[in-house]
């Protein structure tokens, strides 16, 4: 029976698209050097270049500087992103309700996220969810990244559970669902309309509280 639930961060607990759009809009509003660009054009181009977070922002800002002939240095824009993004972090609905339920039910909780250590830590803190987790692994800090099996095994070791005793919840079909299933965990997909096509998973959730329903149907308490 499940003893631990491990989560992805971006696109699973953190509503990254909503958060990113809010940040980019605010950055445009705050910096006069960007006001010669139509705000919607700036926001839309940023989001396109960002490619759902799979292009790091140094490349995004270098391209924006080139295309819009910005007087600002891309390094300064990147630093602004690193410091200000957390102020716009928004979790998906029922985030705290789900994590509270899981803790009260006795599950050990883990988090595995790709990204830079300080940046992802600040974002997790901004959501107010740090205290729920028994283990948090960020790829830069660990020297490993999803979908490498070793980062999942490391999280399981820190939680003191076997793969068969844990489920992983994430939005990416390969990096999250396939990768966790490949090490013997249950792979639960947080539905994302961006990813199309059929792929194997153990369950699909749309709202975070769908996970509670799934666990209760299984009778999957940690005791």
Q: Which helix (H) or strand (E) holds 159?
A: helix 149-159
Q: State the chain's mean pLDDT as an integer.
A: 95
What's the pLDDT score for residue 222?
A: 46
Cα 159 to Cα 135: distance, rounded to the nearest angstrom = 7
What percent of the chain has pLDDT above 90?
91
Options 3.40.50.300, 2.10.109.10, 3.40.50.1000, 1.10.3720.10; CATH of 4-15+90-218: 3.40.50.1000
More confident residue, 1 or 106: 106
Domain ranges in the chain?
A: 4-15+90-218, 16-88
Q: SS3 for 169?
A: strand
Per residue in 3-62, pLDDT (tens digit) is 999 999 999 999 999 999 999 999 999 999 999 999 999 999 999 999 988 898 999 999
- Band (pLDDT 50/70/90 cuts) for residue 155 is very high
What's the pLDDT score for residue 107?
A: 97
Over residues 169-181, mean pLDDT: 97
Q: Which runs of consecutive H residues, i.e. helices, occur in 31-73?
A: 39-50, 57-68
What's the pLDDT score for residue 145?
A: 97
What's the pLDDT score for residue 134?
A: 98
pLDDT beyond 70 at 197: no
- Phi/psi at 127 (nearest 5 deg)? -80, -10
More confident residue, 195 or 144: 144
The burial class, CB within 10 Å (0-12 / 13-18 / 19+), for 8 is buried
Q: Name the region of 51 (left: φ>0; alpha: ψ -120 to 50; beta: rest).
A: left
What's the pLDDT score for residue 218?
A: 86
Task: Answer whether 34's CB lies under 8 Å from 64's CB.
Answer: no
């Amino acid at each position: 029976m499940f003893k631990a639930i491990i989560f992805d961060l971006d696109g699973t607990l953190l509503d990254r698209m909503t958060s990113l759009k809010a940040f980019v809009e605010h950055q445009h509003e705050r910096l006069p050097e960007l006001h010669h660009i139509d705000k919607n054009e700036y926001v839309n181009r940023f989001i396109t270049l960002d490619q759902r977070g799979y292009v790091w922002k140094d490349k995004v800002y270098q391209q924006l500087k080139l295309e819009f002939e910005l007087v600002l240095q891309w390094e300064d824009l990147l630093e602004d992103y690193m410091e200000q993004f957390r102020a716009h972090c928004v979790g998906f609905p029922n985030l705290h309700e789900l994590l509270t339920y899981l803790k009260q039910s006795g599950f050990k909780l883990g988090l595995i996220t790709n990204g830079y250590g300080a940046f992802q830590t600040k974002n997790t803190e901004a959501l107010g969810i740090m205290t729920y987790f028994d283990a948090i692994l960020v790829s830069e800090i660990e020297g490993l990244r999803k979908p490498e099996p070793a980062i999942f095994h490391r999280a399981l070791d820190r939680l003191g559970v076997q793969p068969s005793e844990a489920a992983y919840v994430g939005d990416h079909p390969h990096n999250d669902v396939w990768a966790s299933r490949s090490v013997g965990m249950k792979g639960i997909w947080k539905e994302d309309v961006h990813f199309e096509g059929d792929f194997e998973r153990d369950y699909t959730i749309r709202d975070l509280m769908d996970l509670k329903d799934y666990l209760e149907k299984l009778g999957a308490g940690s005791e």
